[in-house]
Amino acid sequence: MNSTFRRVFRQAVVCALLWSCVDFPFADAAHTGAQAPSLAGASLPGGDAEGRISINADETATASADYVSGPNLGAVTGPFVGTNINSVVGADAFYNHGFEGGNAVIANIEAGHIWSNHEALGHAQQLPNSPLALNEFDRHATWVGMTLGGRSGGASPGAYQVGMAPAAQLYSGAIASQWSGARTAFSFSFNVNAFLDQYRRAFQTGVDGTGRKADVINSSFGGGDITGTSALTVGVDGLANANPRTLFVNSAGNLGAGPDQVGAPGAGYNDLTVAALGANPTYNLPSSFSSGGPNDYADPFNGAFDNARQVVDIAAPGQQLSLAYYGGESGGNGLTDNPSVGGPGPTGPADGPAGGANFYTRGIAGTSFAAPTVAGGAALLYDAAYVEFAGNADARDARVVKAVLMNSATKTSGWNNGQISHPNGLGGVQTGQGLDDRVGAGRMNLDAAFQQYFEGTADLPGTASGNLGLVDEIGWDFGQVLQGTTNDYYFQNDLAAGANFTATLTWFRDRRLEGNAFAFDDSYDDLDLELWSVAGGVPDALISESFSAFNNTEHFSFALPAAGEYALRVRWWGEVFDFSNDLNRESYALAWSTRAIPEPSAALLLILACSAAAMIKTRR
């Protein structure tokens, strides 16, 4: 795509006027194999001339956990023989420096609560409960909780119990008002007020009554709203925008390859959406069930565009996992459907029929568990940031953590972000896509993330514009770019020919939540990422560029065509829309690397093979 066509295309997009008004609430159908709704010819969510969307706070919505039953699923005890997932994704780089999550707070928000009586999860606490939710212990939440922050304990403590951030403060928020179906249900209904209450506590008012906010929020459920424009999606994006030092991590869903298969809340903008990787071969390919894009794009001003946006940001292992078992008669395990919050509640023993506090479920699969793997990894960055960047709160900005994790990700087999040889013939690349439809930037690599975060340039002072001076070959910055300017980062040393150069730029869509009544889609800026060769101390020729029209992440990775001086450039291109008449400037996070970054381990992720057989749960 040449620059002239690109400019005409973007101007046509921004000038289009396709007003409309249909909502896509969280829908159970998105997780039953039904096709996600198409926006071709459809209208947009309700939104007035101010980008305002009304919220019916008393409404009940539905969603499903992003879980897939796997082979040999069952509750088991006995010695575990397997590979340590934490080591495979590189977490040892943090552990070896004393960072296991101790300074970080993680909140898991989903249908039910993490079972705190399991031997690996006795430290799990609860957010202040909403009276509009059942607030029951749940099997799925317990699996996710162990992935996030399980600890060794019980009669046979071991590494098999340890989650990604075992020392983190782990909180559980529950929103379900009813589970759908019989025993071991994974679909549920929730009251909108309860939904907003739990997210507001984690993002804004505090997890424990002291005002301490979560550093990372994980949610492993979803459905519907493929454009990320429903009132709830805009509202939670608004909470993320207003509380930018909390990273919101979501599962992509389990509907398979796209287009239009990633549902909300993962289809939102101000989050990190995670795909699952399969166990064979070596977690180097997306799981067949893992939802992918591209998704349709929509906003209240321009209308809808088919298959125009990448929604998956990163990937992590999501198959053949063994996690903490909960078999009590509550949550999705309930023998009754618990038709209302005031209903009879759970019955039966807390441990359940198949085992108790020392049992684990094997053969687990789903993006539900890839997401907390990444969320727990992010908590390690937050833990370290409180120590190593104690005087710089911007190091804990969600955009920074997101950019660092994405830029340090390992490219999986077949990774394709649509980049082509740049038409100018100078040896670089050009992409209007930025990310791979299935795995985003690639597989999380915490060993590389440790280097990305702490080695080289770690945030330039302030948020100046224009020539930002010299930077190292690896690093990150939290910055702000203005209309009519570019922010240029000059590498202080010549870069080598053939060296792999990777860069990631990410920012927020400006959204807002006003009480429980309205969500606002205020504005959306469009930034570009470019690499230039430098001659005579100034950028001389464009080498590579990522310029997607509707994404809020730009990314490229390629081999440098020649040795020499280079500069990385962030460009404010324009506004996709603006209802708030805000200043034409945008805060962003930028991460880059030109070093060869080692893989964390050749081992597989934690496949906790068990020597003792037990009851196998019926496949759903």
Q: What type of residue sits at position 189? A: S
Instruction: Return the residue matching tokens 């969603």.
Output: 63
Report the C-alpha gap between 169 and 372 in whole angstroms.
Answer: 14
Q: Which long-range contacts (CB under 8 A, 24 or more apart) does 128-132 make?
A: 128/201, 128/209, 129/174, 130/174, 130/175, 130/191, 130/193, 130/194, 130/197, 130/198, 131/341, 132/177, 132/191, 132/193, 132/194, 132/197, 132/341
Q: What tens digit of pLDDT does each residue of 296-311 get?
A: 999 999 999 999 999 9
327-339 burial: b if 16+ Cβ within 10 Å, else e: bbbbbbbbeeebe
Q: How confident is the model at residue 85 (pLDDT cuts 50, 70, 90)?
A: confident
pLDDT at 346 over 80: no
Mean pLDDT along residues 38-63:
59
pLDDT at 25 over 60: no
Neighbouring residues of 479: CB distance < 8 A, sequence distance ≥ 6 = 460, 463, 464, 468, 487, 570, 587, 588, 589, 590
Q: What tens digit of pLDDT does each residue of 418-461 get?
A: 999 999 999 999 999 999 999 999 999 999 999 999 999 999 99
pLDDT at 166 over 80: yes
User: What confidence score (pLDDT) does residue 79 get?
Assistant: 56
Closest to 514 measured CA to CA, from 129, 55, 24: 55
Question: Residue 75, exposed/middle/buried by CB under 10 A (0-12, 13-18, 19+)?
Answer: buried
Cα within 13 Å of Cα(486), Cβ side: 16
Mean pLDDT along residues 370-384:
99
User: What confidence score (pLDDT) does residue 464 get?
Assistant: 84
Summary mean pLDDT of the chain: 85
User: What confidence score (pLDDT) does residue 43 get?
Assistant: 33
- Tell me the whole-structure pTM to 2 decimals: 0.88
Mean pLDDT along residues 76-92:
77
Report the C-alpha gap between 310 and 588 in whole angstroms.
Answer: 18
User: What confidence score (pLDDT) does residue 332 get?
Assistant: 86
Neighbouring residues of 605: CB distance < 8 A, sequence distance ≥ 6 = 83, 85, 88, 89, 279, 283, 317, 320, 321
**Residue ranges of domains in the chain, CATH in brackets:** 28-381+606-610 (3.40.50.200), 384-410+427-593 (2.60.120.380)
Q: What tens digit of pLDDT does each residue of 484-501 get?
A: 999 999 999 999 999 999
pLDDT at 257 over 50: yes
Residue 451, SS3 per DSSP? helix
Q: What six digits make up the tokens of 33?
A: 């194999």
Q: Which of 387-396, 462-471, 530-539 has the lowest mean pLDDT?
A: 462-471
pLDDT at 6 over 50: no
